[in-house]
Each structure stands twice: as C-alpha cells, then as structure tokens.
Structure 1
Amino acid sequence: GAHVIALQEVWTQGARTLLGAAGRRAGYTAIWHREAAFGGSGLMVLSRLPISRPRFTAYRLAGLPQRPRQADFYGGKGFVSLELATDPGPVTLIDTHLQAGYSGPTGSDENSGIRAGQAVQLACYIRDLQTPVLATGDFNTGEGADAYKILGGIGGLGDLAVELNRREPTCLSPHPYRPVQAPESRIDLIFARSGRDTRVRAIALERTYDRALEFAGEPGAYSDHAGLLGEIELIPRPAGEPPFAWPAPSAAALEHAEFQLHLGEEAARRRRRREMGQAGGLLGAGLLVGGSAWKAVERRRGFLARLALGVGGLGFVAGLAGGAGSQWVTGNELAGFAEVREILARPRPARGEPVRLRTP
C-alpha cells in the first residue's frame, strides 16, 4: 500500500476518528489533522513514514464570507506542509484544497482571482524549500488553467499525470453525488519537484477509489472525487557533484500571476459596488416603508401600521448592516490581494543558481 495518504474534506470529528483508527490498524501510525470542523481545513494526512515539522498555513485569500452556500470561507482554506523521513533524506509533503469555482451574477467564475492568489501563496512557499516536494490535493484547477500555470511556472512543480501521460478525470460523470449534467474534469493532482540534494522521478500513477458502490439499494461511491495513487523514486545527489538547481520562476508565469491578481481585485470592487447598491436599495425601501407607516400610526391605523413600521425598520437595519459588512469584507479581501502581491514580489535567485532561501 501507499506510504502516505493525503485527504481533503474530512470535516467531522467522527470521520477523523474513523479514518485514524482504520489507518493505525493498517500501519499508518503518524497522523496529522486539525481538530475544528469550522475553519479546520478538512485536511488529513496518514503516514507509515515518520513525520516532523508539521505546519499549517492559512490562505490569505480564503473565500467569501457573504456566500455561505459556497462554504469555502468557513472551511478554513490553507495547506499543511510536513516532512517525511525517507532513506535518501527528508521529503516535504503538502496537502491542500484550493478555492472551488462558482458562477457569479455574470455567469463567470467569481472566485478565479482568489484561487490564483492561493496558488501564488503556495507556489512561493514551495520555492523557499530545498527538500524534494510532493504537493497533493484538490486544486480545483485543470491543466492549462490559471492556478495550474502559476503552480508550475512559479513553484517549479511538475504534474505526474502529464509526465507519465496518465491523464484521467477525477470528477466523473455520471456520478451519484454530482449533478446529472456535470462535466468530467481532472482537478485532483499530484505535483512533484526535486530538491537540492535529492531528485524526484515519476514512476507510476493510477486512478483509484472510482468504482460504483451501493448502499441500502441506492447508488453511491467512496467520494464525489476519485483518488490518485502515485509512485516516485528518490535519487540522491552523487557525492562530489554540485547541488541540484531548478530554473527561476518564468517571466510569463509571474506576469500571468500579476494579471490574475489584478482581475481578482477588480472582481472584488465590482462585487462591493453591486452589494452596496443592494444595501442602498434596502435602506431606501426601509425608509420609504417606515415613513409611510409612521404617517399611518399618526392617523391611528393600528396593527397594520405598526407591522409596516417594523418591516421598514428591518429593511433599514438590513441595508445598513449589509453595506457595512460589504465594506469590511471587500476591504479585507483587497488587503489580502495586496499581501499576496508582496509575497510574489520577493527577490528570487538568478536563473540557474542553486536556491538559497530560508527553511520554514
């Protein structure tokens, strides 16, 4: 079996307890997860190899709190980085779950800028590492998409499925847990990058946990996403040879990341204008209804007048709260884009030089 298992969307304590107990029975004695369901990330790692230096990093751009049906913000988006002890040396494993895509009022994905910002934060973190890296998870991005380009062009990550020509969708259709017309997609990925002293070579990749099941006569599955089982080889640097080096971030990827951050900022401003307009409408309606109701009260119209006055007051308060909330949310989101842009602008080594950056 696999040496390491990286999971996403393990939200409840019951699920973590069940998976942890099953993992220990199968020899996965090193287990990492966060405790909270609300804001806990849903990430979980089970390993037969010793793990050390676990570090969870929250994404500075973590979703839209005013969209509770999307739920990403409340899940606590981020990534965990931990070191696996192997015979050739430590390997950094990263488990993550990037922002999902949702259609906004115009029909386009209103979260693409947020997801690009998350990819920038993750890619820049990876460039600071000198160990070999395996980055796994639900990236909610496909080959050639914005976040995918950023992860490869800035983080130096290679997609095992591409290297091995093993591209297969991980979101299948038809599927009992997905809408009937949902298209198939390949958004669950295993990326790899060599380290300073150890090279990574892709050996095999296969899709797994993808067969149909039945529960109490109803169709089911292990998950709404299939799993991936990857195999790599770790090749130590021969004695006397210089450390392995990898190219600096590509100019095209840096420019693309800057442009996506700009688009994300513009989307946030448009969303604020739209929400402020809606809040203003509620304020105006509340004042109008409340004013009419007050006149009715003065004329002793009784119950209906008082009801209208209450409705008007609720509309006024809702508009006021909505406007204030939109200002705060968008201000925080724009500050997040600014912070991610600062991360992107940090000095980097010249092309072809060994990476000499801080250890996390």
Structure 2
Amino acid sequence: MINVSLKILCLNCYGLKWISPNRAERIAWIGEYIIDNEYDIVCLQEIFVRKDYEYLSSRLRQQLPYCHWYTNSGLVGSSGLATFSNIPIESVHFHQFRLQGTPLKPYHGDWYARKGIGYARLCLQQQHQQPSSLIIHLFNQHLLANYGGEQYGDQYGAHRACQAYEIARYVETICSTIDSDNSILILAGDFNMLDNELGYRMICSRLGLYDCHHCSSECSCYTLDPSSKVSCPREEKIDYILIQMNKKLIDKIETIDDNGLGPSGIPFSDHKPLTIRLWLNSQTQSIANQFNWKETNLECIEELSRLLLTYLHKTYYRNINQVTLVNLSSLSLTGMSIFNHLFETRMEKAAICILFWSISCTLSLLAIRMNDSEKKAINYMLSCIQLDFSRFRTIKR
C-alpha cells in the first residue's frame, strides 16, 4: 500500500547571466529557501549558468541528492531547466521545441536558449508493501515568453501554442501507461500563458490535468511578482503545477502561498514560488475531475489548426518586410558613411560598402532561412494535427 506525502516547488529563478541583477546572491537565497521548507521535489527554470546549478546541487545534496540539469545544443548551453529530488531518478530525457522565436531579435534570447521540456522518471521503493514502488513522471518546462504584451500584441502566440501542442504529444507518448495504480504525472513550469489561452487549455484537455493552484482560498494564484520591478507590470498567473488525477492514488492536494522574499525583504525572483503538498494513498476514493477531455481536446486542435494556417499566410509578408528593412538599413548606413566624410579615400569607402552589404546579405539570407525553417516546423505541426483529427474523431464516435 502506498501512503506518502510529497512537498513540491516550482520556481522561475530569473538566472540570466550578465542581465539578472544580484543573480548569485538570489540563487543562494533560493538554496536556503529550499532547505528551510524541506521540499521533496523541486522544478526550477532559468538556471542558465552552470556555476549556479553546481552551487545548488552541492548545497542541496543532503536534502535533495538526486538532480539533473537539462543541457542542449543552444548558444547558452542549457535550457535553464533543473530538477532536484529526494526520490531516485531512474531516467531523464529532454525534448527541444521546434519553434523558438527568431535569432533576428537577440534581445529576446529564447532562440539562443533553445527551450524545451525536461522529463525525469522518479521511483520511490517501499519495502514490504504492495505495490512495492511509486512511479512519478515529472516534467519540467519553460515556454516562449510574450514580449509584446498588451501594447504591441503577442508576436509569438502561434509559436507558444505549437510548443504547448508539442508538450501534450510528448507527455502523451512517454506516459502511455500512466493509468497504472502506482504512478502519477506532474507537469510543472513557466508556461508564459494565462489559463484561458489556447496552449494551456490544449495541454489540460489532452492530458486530463488538474491545476493545483486553481484560485483556491489558500493561494493568491499570482506568480509574476510586480514588486520585483524586473519584467512584469502587474500580477499574472503564468506558472503552474498540473497533475493528472490518478483516482486510485491521489488523496489530497494542499496549496501553500509564499511571497518568496529574501533575507532583506527583496524578492529572490521576478516570479513567486509555487508550492503544493500531495497526499498519496492507494486506498483513496478518487477526487478526479470528470470533464469530457476528448471532445474538448478536439476543439482545441481545431482552433490551433486555424491559428497556424493564418500565421503561415502571414509569414511570407513578414519575411519580405524583414529583408526589405535589413537592406534599407544597410543602404542608409552606407550612404551616411560615404557622404558624411567619415572615410576619405576611395579604398576606405569601397571597404565600408562591401562590409555593410555583406552584413545585409548575411542577415537577409538568415531571415529567408529562418522563414523556411519556420514554415517546415508549422507544416509538420499541421500534419500531426491532421492525424489527431482522425484519431479523436474516431474516439468520439
């Protein structure tokens, strides 16, 4: 018989190298916060610096001896995802999203980080009990940010929706045996979306997930902290801990509210920590929700299909605009350099012309290549959606 409680933390640590203020000090605060609150499982995002991960893994070794930092082939070298646990990690895997924004806007940074979703299979052995082990399918993720906001619009909305669709398919593929009596599924991370947006609804409907912080009286529900004055003008709920309700195992869920303040009263991130406590008991009588997930999921993928077809039509014109802007900028810089007498000799003027036009051609080719890559990724998503249409319509019948 399984009878155990788990305390789980999800936190975006705002650990950007050279950009995040007081990064090392805040990482140290986060480490002490984890120790003081005696967590069993911790999912962190934006741990981009190896030194920060090594510090946390060393500091938390006694309490959370099992950990993994999800590295990748991106320019940063890491997805920023880190998982810590006092339950042994049997296996790990990282899935990199196909759509990541654009390299033409390096100040956004997501394309260079190569974000994705990290999986860890945890196994808690319980001697002299049947079943003898508890399997936890733990997913830690970080989706593309919304840089436009209300003023400029969500320029990456289609990319983020595709990432959510990838997450749903990836989790579904790995956890095909999740209905077993001794396993649960936990999906935690920074979704960068509200709970009424397409991506969130698609993940929850496809996987049958329950939001542990669904605006209960015990929790403020806000996970972006405006008092930090870092990246958010108001409180929004964009971080989540979602659980698939195994009706034979999950007995109770408690949400714990915390402002996430360091010793000096300064927030240790621009996100508030999410904390839950799970009570697992194999003799429970089910608190699972009873939504018609298959029908809702069909509606979500139909909405995603319409969104991608519209977005695909716009990419052609966006590509023309990007190339035109690059060439006009290069032409303007060349003209300014020549006619403002910055360069006296013909050799210097010829050299600057070659330099600017080389940059212009390189950026133009990059824009065209990225546009082609984006189209291929979206067309792949649309082909997957067509397969899902057939499958879910068959199930619905």
Other structure's SS at 2:207 match: coil
**Structure 1 residues 258, 156: closer, same or farther in 2, change over 3 A?**
farther
**Structure 1 residues 23, 117: closer, same or farther in 2, change over 3 A?**
same
Whether contact under 8 Å (1:245, 1:352) holds in the other structure is no
Match of 1:16 among 34, 53, 76: 53
Counterpart Cα distance in 2 of 1:266 and 1:156: 32
**Range moving further from structure 2, 12-21 or 267-276:** 267-276
Match of 2:120 among 82, 89, 103: 82
Considering only aligned residues, what root-mean-square deviation do their CA atoms show, in Å?
Answer: 3.3
Counterpart Cα distance in 2 of 1:318 and 1:267: 25
Is 1:31 aligned to residue 82 of structure 2?
no
Counterpart Cα distance in 2 of 1:158 and 1:177: 30
Deviation at 1:101, TM superposition (A): 0.7
1:155 corresponds in structure 2 to 207
2:88 corresponds in structure 1 to 50
Match of 2:227 among 160, 174, 177: 174
Whether contact under 8 Å (2:138, 2:187) holds in the other structure is yes
Match of 1:184 among 221, 232, 235: 235
Percent identical among aligned pairs is: 18
Whether contact under 8 Å (2:71, 2:78) holds in the other structure is yes
1:298 corresponds in structure 2 to none
* Runs of 5+ unmatched residues, structure 1: 239-243, 294-301, 354-360
**Range moving further from structure 2, 57-66 or 94-103:** 57-66
Can you list the C-alpha shifts for 1:167-211, whole angstroms capped at 9, x where unaligned?
A: 5211122224346xx11111111111135x855455111233522
**Number of matched pairs:** 333
Residue correspondence of structure 1 range 1-360 to structure 2 within 5 A: 1-26=38-63, 28-35=64-71, 38-86=76-124, 89-103=134-148, 107-128=152-173, 129=175, 130-131=177-178, 132-162=184-214, 164=216, 166-178=219-231, 182-195=233-246, 198-200=248-250, 203-208=253-258, 210-211=260-261, 213-214=263-264, 220-236=266-282, 247-248=293-294, 250=296, 251-282=298-329, 303-347=344-388, 348=391, 351=395
**Structure 1 residues 49, 259: closer, same or farther in 2, change over 3 A?**
same
**Structure 1 residues 163, 175: closer, same or farther in 2, change over 3 A?**
closer
Other structure's SS at 1:153 match: helix
Can you list the C-alpha shifts for 1:204-239, whole angstroms capped at 9, x where unaligned?
A: 11233522543xxxx73211111111122345489x
Deviation at 1:262, TM superposition (A): 2.9
Other structure's SS at 1:211 match: coil
Other structure's SS at 2:228 match: coil
Deviation at 1:21, TM superposition (A): 1.1
Whether contact under 8 Å (2:115, 2:143) holds in the other structure is yes
* Runs of 5+ unmatched residues, structure 2: 1-37, 127-132, 179-183, 285-289
Please, what TM-score do these two structures have when normalized by structure 2?
0.74
Deviation at 1:261, TM superposition (A): 2.5
Deviation at 1:317, TM superposition (A): 1.5
Whether contact under 8 Å (1:164, 1:202) holds in the other structure is no
Whether contact under 8 Å (2:198, 2:300) holds in the other structure is no
Whether contact under 8 Å (2:210, 2:245) holds in the other structure is no
Please, what TM-score do these two structures have when normalized by structure 1?
0.81
Counterpart Cα distance in 1 of 2:259 and 2:68: 22
